[in-house]
Amino acid sequence: MLRPVTPAAEKRLRIGQVARQLGVEPYVLRFWEEEFPQLQAARTTKGQRYYTEEHVRLLEKIRHLLYVEKLTIKGARQKLAGAEAVHVPLEAIRRELEDIRSLLTGKP
């Protein structure tokens, strides 16, 4: 899941800018927001969507899965969910191994 956006701290891109960057129409991005729970664009007080660089990376991954790997929406959704599920345990294992290493070497 993407972390909450703080508008003042991050570069914001409008839906049209992101659509041009990805080579898709804005309505495609709106559709993807409905289909992929990981993707929730932040909104201004007037309701306009805006995306951060983190959102754009996720959109690029979605575009790749759908247009290059030719997965269905369901398949892309599952692949993204699987990638997140694998990433979390790997981080925990990595931290645990680093703790073991520091215990063995005597370095904190």
Residue 1 domain-assigned? no
Range of the domain at 53: 13-105
Q: What is the pLDDT of residues 56-101, one digit of tens each?
A: 999 999 999 999 999 999 999 988 887 655 555 767 788 888 888 8
Domains contained in the chain, number: 1
The CATH number assigned to the domain holding 101 equals 1.10.1660.10
Residue 26 domain-assigned? yes
What pLDDT sits at residue 11?
A: 83
Q: Which residues make Cβ contacts (< 8 Å) with residue 51, sequence separation at least 6?
A: 12, 13, 14, 15, 18, 41, 42, 59
Residue 35 domain-assigned? yes
- Compute the average pLDDT of residues 3-13: 64
Q: What is the pLDDT of residues 20-52, one digit of tens each?
A: 999 999 999 999 999 998 898 888 888 899 999
CA–CA separation, 88 and 69 (whole Å): 24
Tokens of 34: 């409905």
Residue 8 domain-assigned? no
What pLDDT sits at residue 85?
A: 54
